[in-house]
Amino acid sequence: MMKSLARLTGALLSASCLGLSAGARAQPAPDADSKRDEIIVTGARNPDVAMASKADIPLLENSQAISIVSQQTLIDRRALRLGDALAGVAGVSRNNTYGFFDGFNIRGFNASSGATYLDGLLDDTGYGTSEMSGLERVEVVKGPASGLLGLGPLSGIVNLVSKRPQEDAFLDLGMSAGSYDLIEVRADANAPLTADGTLTARLAAVYRDQDFFVHSSGQKRIFLAPSLRWQMGSRTSLTLLGRYQRDDIRPWSPTTAYGTALPNPNGPLPISLSINDTMYPAVQKNDYWNLGYVFDHQVSEAVAVHQSLRYQDFHNSWDNWLFITGINTQDIPATAISPLIPAYSRVSRAFYGPYEENGTYFRVDTNASARFDTGPLNHYLLAGLDYGRRRSDNYNLYDTSNPYYLNLYAPVYGTVSTHNPAVPFSTAGSRTRQLGLYVQDHIKLGDVLTVTVGGRWDDASAINLSGGVASPKTKATAFSPRAGATLALNEWASLYVNYSKSFTPQFSYRDVDQKVLPPERGINYEGGVKIARSDGRLTGMMTLFSLTRANVATADAVLPNVYVLTGEQRTRGIEAEMAWRPGSGIELTAAYTYLDAKVTADNRLRVGSRLGSVPRHIVDLWARYTIPSGPLANLGAGAGFHHESNRAASTASAVAGALQPFLLDGYVLVDGSIFYRFDDWSVQANIRNIFNERYFPTASLTRTTPGEPRTFMVSLQRHF
């Protein structure tokens, strides 16, 4: 059954997307009886199960733009963060993450919240970063995914695909060391538990201890991902998936723009400067565990059933976290007890913590598919129902009662050990629920034309708690349609068009009558060309797109804590991705993005202004060469180039007297690697930001995020 299921679900993303993995490595050729429409990304076949598109649609027949970052790409680039993994995906740029939370834009809009999925189910466990070493690959769906996945941002979603049990036994042990006292030990063990292979198990595990480039900051992580597959028969399989992650973090805080992204009359500031008190450093703890399964049953050659389920328990906490609230813009005269404090040399800070959050999250998705003909039309019908509920409770303290001063040029630490005890705690919580029903029909006429139509109806609700008092339940419903078509030009190229809408509830925004605002809606139009040679030597995609957000909640110009639906924002642009293997041992990938992102209607933001933190141009190049034969066989090197052009630090305000945004400079990052494989051993050295570029991906006057300086990592791995 696994082969049938593999083929049923396999063309899914491997065949639904343009499978453009930025930098995947060549692997052994597929068996002769493999399906020709399986995608090969830079020479590597994508794994058989892909969940983001939920359907077994060949690559050139799929009208949705989806990019895949393969496991080999994650290894080649030594990506420890999701942002690093997505650097080579067209349409993706950095977003404000305070340096270590996962944050990114897709097509110019924020996709940091409510856009990360794990194995096809929304992964919403609060603050933290996703572990890359436990993944088979990362899938990026560009544009609205609400037609199948439900509520979510217009920009798109990222689906993380976990490692699954394999047929053959193996054990991979590795360790890495690098900049800022990085030490990492990892294991990936797989084994059949029965002689006939009906039960197989796998465990991915990581321990990592590292400092960050800011003084007195760092992280320790323990990660365990066990999985068990039961091949119940030739047509039925059940895979149990578990995950445990614990982070003990000393977080760093964003700095001021003066002296970093902007000039300061007192001189530049080092990006290693700690805004937190180094004697009483900020502390953060995140831990969560989840348990779920993926069930597949092939009823017949034409009918299949799939169900995914997951339960998660999460806990987030922090304390002693200091954030800049202002800077002295004038000299402060000397007194009998203090010297002159020059302008732009001292910041005030707020104290954040203690904060404690506990919660649970449950999701289940069930669908069935059927293939049948009506006259000359071949149908592939998918219908499903999913349900999710999330509960969280927290208590919180945010102390602005004292200025908690810090002299940026002569910092004195050891003065802020705790918050002002007179500041009271606040308590809050939420209870959210979502039910969605979706249907999609992929219709094929001959070998040239396909049409995909579908949509989803969602019913979402929320109850918010404040001080132990629950608000009335609020609800939001929506229908999100999707339609697309492909036209085959030949066996390895096709044209495609796509139309889709998004749906995002706005439960926390209320109008003047204290009614919850209607959901934010988005609409996407796109079209382009896809190519995929059957030998896997060349894959690519070029897309023209236009996305518009409507019902954007903006603050009322007069009334506090009141919002109105006057906002509209639009991005238009071009995405191009390519992966090419021109010769033995040579692999090249390239991605280019042009983004025109601006405000088209608003009562608080300036109409026509650029959206904040969105570059107009993004270029990513990666080249890799491995010596194929001779005495130096399997010795290789890789090099990468990443450029993002300048961007507005924020979106311009239309309010009289408001400060207008400044421009952040564009930047170029150059990475490199060298590697060697011998017998069952492999060694690899990576350098990121070789030329130590000083850059700031996101910024405001009080919260500017520095980019990571030059770092190196050396890794050794043994395969058993």
What's residue 570's pLDDT?
95
| Per-residue pLDDT tens digits for 503-555 | 888 887 777 777 778 888 999 999 999 998 988 899 999 999 999 998 887 77
Least confident of 95-109, 290-304, 497-511, 667-681: 95-109
What's residue 135's pLDDT?
95
616-647: string of b/e by CB count within 10 Å (b at 16+)? bebbbbbebbbeeeeeeebebebbbebbbbeb
- In whole angstroms, give the CA distance from residue 442 to residue 484: 9
What's residue 556's pLDDT?
67
Least confident of 47-56, 69-78, 291-300, 310-319: 47-56
pLDDT of residue 174 exceeding 80: yes
Q: What is the mean pLDDT of the chain?
A: 88
What's residue 99's pLDDT?
56
What's residue 516's pLDDT?
79
704's CB contacts (< 8 A; 6+ apart) are: 254, 255, 256, 257, 260, 261, 696, 698
Compare 153 and 250 and report the one with higher pLDDT. Answer: 250
**What residue has token string 């930001």?**
689
- In whole angstroms, give the CA distance from residue 273 to residue 374: 68
pLDDT of residue 6 exceeding 60: no
The three-state secondary structure class of 477 is: strand
Strand 135-142 with 66-70, pairing: antiparallel
Contact 164, 227 (CB under 8 A): yes
Q: What value does the mean pLDDT take over residues 689-694? A: 97
Per-range mean pLDDT, top range of 32-36, 42-46, 494-498, 582-586: 494-498
Q: What value does the mean pLDDT take over residues 249-268? A: 96
The fraction of the chain above a pLDDT of 90, given in percent, is 72
CA 448 from chain centre, in angstroms, equals 34
**Token digits of residue 592:** 């280019």
End-to-end CA distance of the chain: 28
Reference 396, options 415, 423, 422; nearest CA is 423
What's residue 591's pLDDT?
97
What's residue 2's pLDDT?
36
pLDDT of residue 574 exceeding 90: yes
pLDDT of residue 691 exceeding 50: yes
| Per-residue pLDDT tens digits for 436-469 | 999 999 999 999 999 999 999 999 999 988 888 9
What's residue 181's pLDDT?
96
The fraction of the chain above a pLDDT of 70, given in percent, is 91
The overall pTM is greater than 0.75: yes
pLDDT band at 58 (very low <50, low <70, confident <90, very high): confident
What's residue 51's pLDDT?
67
- In whole angstroms, give the CA distance from residue 318 to residue 409: 27
Reference 50, options 69, 23, 27, 74; nearest CA is 69
What's residue 693's pLDDT?
97
Rounded to 5 degrees, what are φ and ψ at 6?
-60, -40
Q: What value does the mean pLDDT take over residues 6-10? A: 35
